[in-house]
């Protein structure tokens, strides 16, 4: 029986695999929790400024649908990261440029997932100030991706990344 001194020494084992998926679940649960918290905060802002919301069964249906789509954009690319043994949150350089699956539709499906989950929460509860929060979040996210992550990816992957950017939009075809 193999004794694992740390998680890295167990790569390929059942314990390592289980821990990866627990980590994936907890990371995505954290993202959903932050989205719900910010949505709740926007309700408090609406109440403070006496904004009337647009809460209805229609907004709940649209919001839930947007959250589910966001969940797919978040979860399925996360699984692809783990299949390629690439960390989602890391302080070390990545060694693999993933260009298949969701990454052939968008260079940033994980961010799309986060933004859609957040937007879905806001639409679900019908908050006016929340939509403004979402717009600011998108602008900040776009800045981060464009000036931090893409710069880093160009440095690490060079011409391979440049070719990838030519055929794959930053967000989606309608938002390049």
Residue 175 has pLDDT above 90, yes or no: no
Residue 173 has pLDDT above 90, yes or no: no
Which residues lie closer than 8 Å to 5 by C-beta, 6 or more apart? none
Residue 164 has pLDDT above 90, yes or no: yes
Which residues lie closer than 8 Å to 30 by C-beta, 6 or more apart? none
Residue 1 has pLDDT above 90, yes or no: no
Alpha-carbon distance of 51 to 58, in angstroms, equals 19
56 DSSP 8-state letter: -
Q: What are phi and psi of 172, to 5 degrees?
A: -140, 170
Task: Tell me the per-residue pLDDT of 87-113, one tens digit each, with 9 for 90 and over.
Answer: 666 545 567 888 988 999 999 999 999
Alpha-carbon distance of 87 to 95, in angstroms, equals 10
Q: From the CB of residue 116, how many other CB atoms can be counted at a distance below 10 Å?
A: 22
Task: Tell me the per-residue pLDDT of 28-62, one tens digit each, with 9 for 90 and over.
Answer: 888 888 888 988 899 899 889 888 778 788 989 99
The percentage of the chain sitting over the pLDDT mark of 90, rounded to a whole number, equals 39
Give SS3 for 64: helix
Alpha-carbon distance of 176 to 174, in angstroms, equals 6
- Between vectors from CA 43 to CA 41 and to CA 45, what angle results, nearest 5°? 70
Which helix or strand (DSSP H or E) is residue 164 part of? Answer: helix 150-167
Alpha-carbon distance of 35 to 22, in angstroms, equals 20
Q: Per the structure block, which two tokens stand in for 140?
A: 């900040």
For the chain, the 3-state helix, strand and coil shares in percent, each to the nearest 5, are 70, 0, 25
pLDDT band, very low/low/confident/very high, at 80 (cuts 50, 70, 90):
confident
Rounded mean pLDDT, 107-123:
93
**Sign of CA pseudo-dihedral 135, 137, 139, 141:** negative
């Amino acid at each position: 029986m193999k004794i694992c001194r740390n998680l890295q020494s167990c790569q390929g084992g059942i314990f390592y695999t289980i821990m990866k998926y627990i980590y994936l679940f907890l990371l995505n649960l954290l993202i959903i929790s932050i989205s719900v918290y910010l949505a709740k905060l926007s309700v408090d802002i609406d109440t403070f400024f006496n904004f009337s919301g647009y809460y209805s069964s229609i907004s709940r249906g649209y919001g839930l649908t947007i959250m589910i789509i966001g969940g797919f954009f978040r979860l399925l690319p996360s699984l692809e990261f783990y299949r390629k043994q690439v960390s989602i949150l890391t302080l070390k350089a990545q060694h693999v440029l993933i260009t298949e699956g969701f990454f052939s539709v968008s260079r940033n499906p994980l961010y799309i997932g986060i933004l859609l989950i957040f937007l879905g929460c806001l639409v679900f509860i019908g908050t006016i100030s929340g939509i403004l929060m979402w717009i600011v979040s998108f602008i900040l996210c776009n800045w981060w991706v464009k000036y931090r992550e893409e710069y880093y990816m160009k440095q690490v992957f060079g011409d391979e990344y440049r070719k990838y950017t030519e055929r794959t939009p930053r967000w989606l075809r309608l938002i390049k």
